Amino acid sequence: MSDLSSKQSTPSAPFNVNKLFGFIALLLGMCSAILIALSYWAISGPVVIGFFVSFVLYLYTHNKYSGFAFTFMILSAVATALYYPSVFQSVGGVELKSFIVPLLMIIMFGMGTSMSVQDFVRVGKMPKGILIGLICQFSIMPIVGFGLALASGLPPEIAAGIILVGCSPSGLASNVMAYISGANLALSLTLTAVSTLLAPFITPFYMSLLADEFVPIDAMAMFLSISKIVILPLVAGLIFNHLLHGRFPLLDKAMPKISMISIGIIITIITAAGRDSLLTIGGVLILVVIIHNALGYLFGYGGAKLLGMDEASSRTIAFEVGMQNSGLASGIALEMGKVATMGLAPAVFGPVMNISGSSLASWWRDKQPNQPQTKETLL
């Protein structure tokens, strides 16, 4: 009797939700692979989407991999857009791609609210790092993008999108990765700010030089488009931060999430618009984008080391070079009327760089640089 009561009083093992989501994701993943291999496209749609959703939940409930949940959330939306593109093309007669530029302006406003005058003042305090970072940023990625566009054999407008990604400034995600990896965060913030402000001048110049043989480039129109998308909301965000910093704490907390959601919506809309092209050349485009992204990290890090930068700063430049503002590139493609073609490379580049950047940052985090960041370095 005592044995029975002791067994009854023994607490049961806690229910592991994470393992349940992992099992469901594994099961749906295998079913998806089988259905796709057998060309049962209509049936595979809900199964593939279910796989991504369950995998997102697995990542979100996992202590170690929760940082990847947002990227795979975007991939689940992309999968939905590929199977059901009409859902993301128009609503009530309104084309959803018309929201891309306003969403980008919200993102750039959010970027401005996260910056301060100090981000630009630091240019004078670390001129060598800024100069080397900008040289790497605006030489490596445009040239690599041009080479890959020529070698890929992709249709001209899609190939031009690869160059467009390379000619864009660094993205906000690079700052997050610099922080996680133990890189020089102050340098990262300043490089992102300066390269973004230079984009209206440098991006049209490089596109005229490198992409004109693929698509006609109107440099002045591109300058005006980038100024509208970048400069105006960024300056508005800077002014807001300077005058009203701390007065709207809820807005300060919400802006990063709003920006992330906006990026996801933009990528999904572009995927739906270019769905037919993606199904035809998607494999080649994904491979080219992965190579472009990887070479950005490699040459950015190697170039910084070669020019005498320390380990922490070299990591920063690797992220600044390898992680581009794909959202801005998508907006430029839309303004050119080519979002379904030129916009595909930026749409693919976004999730790819988030996965690779998170992985590289996590790996570097366990290999802290010899010169750790001080409090002064971060401010």
Structure confidence by residue, pLDDT tens digits, 217-270: 999 999 999 988 888 888 888 888 878 777 777 877 787 788 888 888 888 888
- Is the predicted pLDDT of residue 379 greater than 60, yes or no? no
CATH number of 96-378: 1.20.1530.20
Give the pLDDT band (50/70/90) at residue 25. Answer: very high
- Is the predicted pLDDT of residue 287 greater than 60, yes or no? yes
Asked if residues 160 and 214 have their Cβ atoms less than 8 Å apart, the reply is yes
pLDDT tens track for 150-161: 999 999 999 999
The predicted pLDDT at position 313 comes to 92
pLDDT tens track for 183-221: 888 888 889 888 988 999 999 999 999 998 899 999 999
Q: What is the mean pLDDT of residues 70-74?
A: 84
Weakest mean pLDDT among 86-95, 157-166, 303-312:
86-95
- Is the predicted pLDDT of residue 290 greater than 80, yes or no? yes
Q: Can you list the positions of beta strands (E) in the chain?
A: 90-91, 94-95
Give the pLDDT band (50/70/90) at residue 68. Answer: confident
In the 8-state DSSP scheme, what is residue 369?
-
Asked if residues 296 and 170 have their Cβ atoms less than 8 Å apart, the reply is no
Six-digit token pair at 19? Answer: 């393992």
Q: Give the start-to-end residue ranges of the domains of the chain.
A: 96-378
What lies within 8 Å, CB to CB, of 192 at 6+ separation is 169, 170, 171, 172, 174, 175, 320
CA separation for the pair 209, 244 (Å, rounded): 42
Full DSSP string of 134-167: HHHHHHHHHHHHHHHHHHH---HHHHHHHHHHHT
What lies within 8 Å, CB to CB, of 109 at 6+ separation is 233, 234, 236, 237, 240, 255
Tell me the average pLDDT of the chain: 85
Q: Which residues of 357-377 are buried (b: 16+ CB within 10 A; e: fewer)?
A: bbebbbebeeeebeeebeeee
> In terms of DSSP H, where are the helices of 61-126?
69-83, 100-113, 117-125
Give the pLDDT band (50/70/90) at residue 57. Answer: very high
Question: Closest Cα partner for 120 from 172, 197, 194, 201?
Answer: 194
Give the pLDDT band (50/70/90) at residue 374. Answer: very low
